[in-house]
């Protein structure tokens, strides 16, 4: 392809090209060149700082995301475990079309708190019931002793009283622990 060209024309093109000006006025002089070099150094330093800042911010975001995800996973796991432990059934996927009654029930369920709620009751009722029950057993034992009932019956009443007293002791112990925690 190259050899197809007319050599005289080639020479002419070469001559014209070589006669073109070999110098061109530079866009700026020495002083401005120095100034530009300084500006470039500053810009590069700032760019480096920006880059480092961006990398640090990215790392922070990534680490925060990992931490949040791991915590979220732990919380979800705990929630699932809590639901299983308290026997709260997970809500099944409902069909899109529901009758009004089901919709009301679903709305009521949705209004419930999503987490299992621990409701605290006082121990007063339990203590009173236990004390009443112990008093009844005491009465029965007195009657049994006076009327000379079968020894097995009296032993059963004693065991019952012993169990009730043990329960009462446990409730009192729980009350003491709760008072210490508050």
Cβ nearer to other proteins, comparing 17 with 177: 17
Q: Does 7 bind other proteins (CB under 8 A)?
A: no
Interaction of residue 2 with other proteins, rule CB under 8 A: yes
Report d(CA 63, CA 84) in Å as an integer: 31
Which CB atom, from 33 or from 173, has the smaller least distance to other proteins?
Answer: 33
**CA gap 44, 17 in Å, rounded:** 39
* Residues in 20-39 that interact with other proteins by CB under 8 A: 20-27, 29-30, 33, 36-37
**Where in 12-91 does DSSP place strands (E)?**
none
Q: Which of 109, 116, 111 is nearest to 79 (CA)?
A: 116
Name residues contacting other proteins, limited to 37-76 (CB under 8 A).
37, 40
Neighbour-count burial of 21, counting CB atoms closer than 10 A to its CB (0-12 exposed, 13-18 middle, 19+ buried)? exposed
- Would you tell me which residues interact with other proteins (CB under 8 A)? 1-2, 4-5, 9-10, 12-14, 16-27, 29-30, 33, 36-37, 40
């Amino acid at each position: 392809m190259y050899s197809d060209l007319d050599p005289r024309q080639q020479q002419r093109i070469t001559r014209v090209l070589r006669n073109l000006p070999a110098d061109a006025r530079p866009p700026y002089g020495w002083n401005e060149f120095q100034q530009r070099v300084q500006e470039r150094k500053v810009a590069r330093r700032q760019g480096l700082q920006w880059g480092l800042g961006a990398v640090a911010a990215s790392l922070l975001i990534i680490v925060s995301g990992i931490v949040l995800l791991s915590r979220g996973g732990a919380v979800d796991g705990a929630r699932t475990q809590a639901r299983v432990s308290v026997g709260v059934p997970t809500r099944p996927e409902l069909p899109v079309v529901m009758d009004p009654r089901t919709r009301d029930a679903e709305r009521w369920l949705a209004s419930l708190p999503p987490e299992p709620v621990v409701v605290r009751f006082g121990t007063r009722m339990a203590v009173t019931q236990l004390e009443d029950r112990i008093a009844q057993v005491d009465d029965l034992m007195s009657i049994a002793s006076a009327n000379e009932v079968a020894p097995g019956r009296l032993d059963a009443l004693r065991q019952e009283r012993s169990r009730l007293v043990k329960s009462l002791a446990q409730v009192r112990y729980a009350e003491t622990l709760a008072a210490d925690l508050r």
